[in-house]
Amino acid sequence: MRARILDSYILVFAGLLLTAGSLSDRFGRRRLLVVGLVLFGAGSLFGALASTSGLLIAARVGMGVGGALMMPSMLSILITVFHEEERRKAMAVWSAVATLGLIGGPILGGLLVDWFGWGAVFLVNVPIVVVSIAAAVAWMPESRGPWREPDPLGAVLSVVGLTALIWMIIELPKNGLAHPGTLAALAVAVLGLGGFVWWESRVASPMVPLGLFRDRNISGGSLSLTLVQIGNGGLLLVVTQYLQFVLDYTPMQAGAALGVAILGSVLSGAYTAAMPESAPEAAHRSIQDAFAVAAATGDAGLATTARDAFTSAMSISFVAAAIGAFAGAVLSLVMIRDRKREAVEEELVAA
């Protein structure tokens, strides 16, 4: 159930992201940002007061919808509202705040859990949302993208394809590629995303103009950022569990240790592979389950084996994350061109 609480947010967030970007261009970026903030704040408040895991999952779904509406609107507003001279400063401030949240978030989250309980990590979002809505209404001008025909089929295909892809990635380490559920999710993802690309390349007014990706700066930058985010997001989950379940850190200590540690992982599959076949089936699923079995049976050796398997899996995940980050850097170097240099080269050729 803990995994479902985590998965519910990312599934909704990732599935709706493309569609939310199109909606913000159509109905107004500030409007969608405010709606997203309201949904995110309401989901946070609902999550803080949730008394069952089902209610908490529902709250996380609401937060995922709100997050999906906010993210593209924020970036679009930065690009369209600020003039070229101010845009760099605005992007720098946004990046600095995002980095501060990435580093300080685990620390603040650990403090809140230690002092007030887990509900506080949801409740702290509410005053931030209220201030953000007031600031958006008072100071942020409305902006829209160029008008185009709606693309409902493209929206449906993107939501289905992306959600199925994320679900397949989540289930793959647990059940393996041969599992019927994993294969079904993979099939839906291929059909959904393949159908999306086919439709967007033929419809007169596509939700996502695929011709943009012919620009190597856009395609290379997008791919590089994707690889970096895979690595960054993975480490946060991996190291949090390692510090708390293997090294017995408190939430506050774990958050402080995570302040500068952001990379990726393929932890679950590596952990399962590192556990011996003789271990109970439940112990193969996660280190938490292994500790629960060890506590119930009094098997101290199983707990030690689980710690060793988790440590080995973490090492493998670090290598994978490092490779991903290096690949992102190489792709940026190779694919993203210097426009000023290209202009100079074109002038030399023309001369």
**pLDDT tens, position by position, 248-304:** 776 656 665 665 454 434 456 666 666 776 777 777 766 777 788 888 887 878 888
Question: Which tokens sit at 12?
Answer: 């909704």
Cβ(293)–Cβ(282) below 8 Å: yes
Question: Higher confidence at residue 286 or residue 178?
Answer: 178
CATH of domain 2-211: 1.20.1250.20
Q: Long-range contacts for 256-262 (Cβ within 8 Å, ≥24 apart)?
A: 256/106, 256/107, 256/110, 258/106, 258/107, 259/103, 259/104, 259/106, 259/107, 260/103, 261/235, 261/236, 262/102, 262/103, 262/231, 262/232, 262/235, 262/236
CA separation for the pair 33, 27 (Å, rounded): 11
Mean pLDDT of 327-345: 56
The total of other beta-carbon atoms located within 10 Å of residue 237's CB is: 15
Convert the pLDDT of each residue in 10-61 to its tens digit.
889 988 988 888 888 888 888 999 999 999 999 999 999 988 888 999 999 9
CA separation for the pair 328, 343 (Å, rounded): 25
Is pLDDT of 319 > 60? Answer: yes
pTM surpassing 0.85? no
Mean pLDDT of 66-89: 78
Can you give the pLDDT at residue 92?
A: 63
Residue 275 φ/ψ, nearest 5 degrees: -75, 135
Is pLDDT of 172 > 90? Answer: no
| Residue-range domain boundaries for the chain | 2-211, 215-351
Is pLDDT of 147 > 80? Answer: no
